[in-house]
Amino acid sequence: MNISKRGFTLIELLVVIAIIAILAAILFPVFARAREKARQSTCISNQRQIAASVQMYAQDHEETMPGSSTVWRDINADAQILQCPTAGKSLAVAYTYDAASCSNVALGSIPDPVATWLTADGDTSGIAYRHTNKTIKSFVDGHVTIVSAVATGPSWTGADDATTQKVGTTQMVVWKSSGGTFTVSSPIAVDILVVAGGGGGGSSAPNENPSAGGGAGGLIYKAATNLSPGTYNVVVGAGGTGGLTNYCYGTNGGDSTFGTLLTAIGGGGGAYGKNGTPLQGASGGSGGGNARQYSAAGGTGQQSSSASGGFGNNGGKSVGSTCAGGGGGSGLVGGDSTASSAGDGGDGKDYSSVFGTAVGASGWFAGGGGGGARDSSTDGVGKAGGGSGGLAGTGRNAVANTGSGGGGIRLSAVTGAGGNGGSGIVIVRFVTSQ
């Protein structure tokens, strides 16, 4: 009688392989945790023996514990006792000693032996949380326990202490005069405002046409931005300098940055006017753009008669012997000039409802454009922090930490300097756990 032999089909084989893979995926983490538990048990045993050895040493040395530089030699422990199985054999001594509290200290002088740790996982650089984000510590009284890592919130350097504040669980960090860093140890959602420096106003020359107001610095406001762990460098842009001599441009404002994540571009410097040249009635650079989401460049003053301001065409247009205002924040345009009036600076974005009094003003506008000037007794107004056009040969300075443009200069019998642009600011706000 013939008996046919039947093998596995391909589908049956694949099903068995899939079942084995699923079981392996389930069991491997279990095995890994079991192995780590075994290593923890060994580490606990090691540190309990080390603590006992330190106590015996103290009994033989007038109740004084060993010094930090000789502790591992003094307790005469076996080499295996000094090695943590999780750290491997690369470290001859895988534990750190509490030198600040225990080195050459008498046992009786320690006020709370139960709370004073003696040894812990680590090395000469400090404590290590190598057991699934935990460390094992022994204490002066001899007990050993597993301690979880303490979650820490963000830290920072260089912030302005006077305006960095905490209300309830909301922390606000403000950089006003200089940059610094913002360090995040775990992912966190933050609100960020970055304002660049405003451009300086242009200068005037005797019996020549007036100069333009500087443009506002770029603005970025990002709500609920998720920051990854790391250190973010903070740069606060300086305000541009007003033109100082005959026919002198104001300089551009400095960029403000938050790491590589956000960059706000400084406002363009105002240009000057001069009879018989293409620079007559030049406009200041613009600022702003969409202030809530994107960075907008502040362009340089346009070097042509009746020209618009810089990036985004948000500076006003100049006509004849008058000068327009620089563009404002939030995409608001600077005023056009006419034959009988100077252009006002564009309004800034009102952030007082968003960030309260963080910059020391109850109503705060970031990024107002500098006012233009004309050859009469009327000057263009610098809106919301921007410097006004100068009546007496000096353009008015913008308000600090607003990113606003400096004022331009009207015609006068003497050379007049343009107003300085306002410096920028960076603000970070987040909710703390405490």
- Please check whether residue 284 is in contact with residue 200, taking contact to mean a CB–CB distance below 8 angstroms: no
Please give the pLDDT value at position 123.
Answer: 87
Helix-then-strand count for the chain, H and E: 4, 17
Provide the 8-state DSSP code for 180: E
Q: What is the H or E stretch that residue 183 is in?
A: strand 180-184
Read off φ and ψ for residue 238, nearest 5 degrees. Answer: -80, 155
Structural domain boundaries in the chain: 10-148, 152-434
User: Which H or E run contains 75?
Assistant: none
Question: What are the residues whose beta carbons fall under 8 Å from the beta carbon of 370, sequence distance 6 or more?
Answer: 198, 199, 201, 212, 213, 214, 215, 216, 270, 284, 325, 326, 345, 382, 386, 387, 395, 398, 404, 405, 406, 407, 408, 419, 421
- State the residue for tokens 């012997």: 321
Task: Report the pLDDT value the prediction gives residue 59, as an integer from 0 to 100.
Answer: 93
Q: Nearest Cα to 388, choosing from 402, 403, 368?
A: 368
Instruction: Name the pairing type of β-strands 256-258 and 262-264.
Output: antiparallel
**Residue 264 · residue 196 · CB < 8 Å:** yes
Task: Please tell me the predicted confidence (pLDDT) of residue 97.
Answer: 94
pLDDT tens-place values along the chain, 434 residues long: 566 666 778 888 899 999 999 998 888 888 888 888 899 999 999 999 999 999 999 999 999 999 999 999 999 888 889 999 988 888 889 999 998 889 999 998 998 999 999 999 998 878 888 888 889 999 999 999 998 876 667 889 998 876 677 777 788 898 988 889 999 887 889 988 888 888 887 776 666 656 677 777 777 778 788 898 889 999 999 988 888 766 677 888 888 899 988 887 787 777 765 554 434 334 455 443 322 223 333 444 433 333 333 332 344 444 444 444 555 443 344 454 444 445 566 555 555 556 655 444 433 445 556 666 544 455 555 555 566 665 555 677 887 887 777 877 665 555 667 788 888 889 898 887 65
Rounded to whole angstroms, the Cα distance separating 113 from 55 reads 12
Q: Cα–Cα distance between 309 and 121 in angstroms, integer? A: 63
* Contact assessment for residue 183 and residue 399, using Cβ atoms and an 8 Å cutoff: no
Q: Please give the Cα distance from 47 to 249 (Å, whole number).
A: 71
Beta bridge partners of 365: 350
pLDDT value, residue 349:
58
pTM above 0.75, yes or no: no
